[in-house]
Amino acid sequence: PRALAAAPRRRTMLDLDAAIAQLRQCDVLDENEVRQLCDAAKEILVDESNVQRVDAPVTICGDIHGQFYDLLELFRVGGECPERNYLFLGDFVDRGHYSVETFLLLLALKVRHPDRITLIRGNHESRQITQVYGFYDECLRKYGDATVWKEFTSLFDTLPLSAAVENSVFCPHAGLSPSLDTVDHIQQLNRFQEIPHEGPMCDLVWSDPDERCGWGISPRGAGYTFGADITEQFLTTNSFKFIVRAHQLVMEGYSWTHPNTCVTVFSAPNYCYRCGNMAAIMEIGDSIDARPEFVMYEASPEQGDKKELNQRMPDYFL
C-alpha cells in the first residue's frame, strides 16, 4: 500500500495574552513561541520609519538592561501598557540577569498593542555588543544553543533608529551625528543591518552630549560628543523643541546635559545591581508645550532568584 504523505505541520498561533501573563512571572517562552513572536514583531517593525512618529501623551523610558523586576517596577510607577502610551529608547538587553524575559515582555506588548508602545534601537541591540556584555551567554544558558539569539538579533535590525513625539521632541537612543542635519537625512538611511562601526547610524546609538561646544572625539570609541551649539542648530533646523535620549548612567535618573534642550533619561535603577542610582521616566502630557514631568523610582525590592544574582559577575560588570 502507498505510504500516506505526512500531514503539513500546523503553525499554531501564539496566544499573546497568555504569553504576556507568563512573561510577567519571569517565565520564558519556548523556542517555537519566540520564533512566532519575533516574526509577528518584524511584520510590524518593518513598516515603522527610521524616525517613528509617536503621539502625546507618552511616557519615555531609557535603558533597561535586562533588569526585569525593575521593568515591572517601572510599569507599577508609570502605569500599565496599554493604559499608558510608552516609548522605550533601546538598550533592553545585556548586563542584567533577565535580558531574555525583559525583551520578550516588551516585544509581546508591542505585538499585542502596536500603537501603544514604541521600541527603538540602542547600541546594545547588536550582534557584536551582545556577544560581549551578556545577552548571548544568557540565550545559550536558557535555550541551549544560539538559535534564539539569532532570532533576536535578526529582529534588532528592524527596530527604528529614533522617534519624534508630535514632531516636536526628537528621541534617539544616544545622540546626534555630523552626517545628519535633518530628519530627512535620517529617514533616508538603510537601517536594516547590523550597527556599523562608524557613520550616521552608529552615531545615533553611540554619541553623547557634552559641555564643550562643537563636535568632539568620543571616549567610547564610537560616535561623537556634541555641544549645546550643535543641539541648538539641529533643533532649529528641524523645528524640534528639545532632545530626549538615554545611553548614559545618571545618578538621579535624569539630567539636562544641555539646559532646556537635551535631557538624558536612564531607567535602570541600581544599575548592574551595584551602582546605587535612581531611575526615572519622563511623562509628556497632552500638551507638548507644557514642561515634561519626571518620575523617579528606586530598584524593586524583588530581584528574582538569589542563585541568579549571586553567581560571579563576569569581568565586564567591573
Rounded distance, CA 120 to CA 204, Å?
Answer: 11
Within 10 angstroms of residue 197's Cβ, the number of other Cβ atoms is 10
Can you name the residues that pair with 95 across neighbouring β-strands? none
Q: Catalytic site residue 124?
A: yes
CB 281 within 8 A of CB 87: no
Three-class SS state of 209: strand
Strands 279-284 and 58-61: antiparallel
* Other CB atoms within 10 Å distance of the CB of residue 318: 7
Q: Please enumerate in sequence order all residues whose Cβ is within 8 A of that of 92, keeping only pairs 6 or more positions apart, or say none.
A: 64, 65, 66, 99, 102, 103, 106, 119, 122, 124, 125
User: Which residue out of 65, 97, 124, 173 is catalytically annotated?
Assistant: 124
Nearest-angstrom CA–CA distance, 313 and 318? 8
For 218: left if phi > 0, alpha if psi spans -120 to 50, otherwise beta; the answer is beta
Set of cell numbers at residue 208: 553623547
Measuring CA to CA, which residue among 232, 251, 253 is closest to residue 241?
232
Cα distance between residue 285 and residue 283, in whole Å: 6
Dist. CA 74–CA 245, nearest whole Å: 17
CA angle 7/9/13 to nearest 5° reads 140
Contacts of 279 (CB under 8 A, 6+ apart): 62, 70, 74, 253, 266, 267, 268, 269, 296, 297, 298, 299
List active site positions. Answer: 124
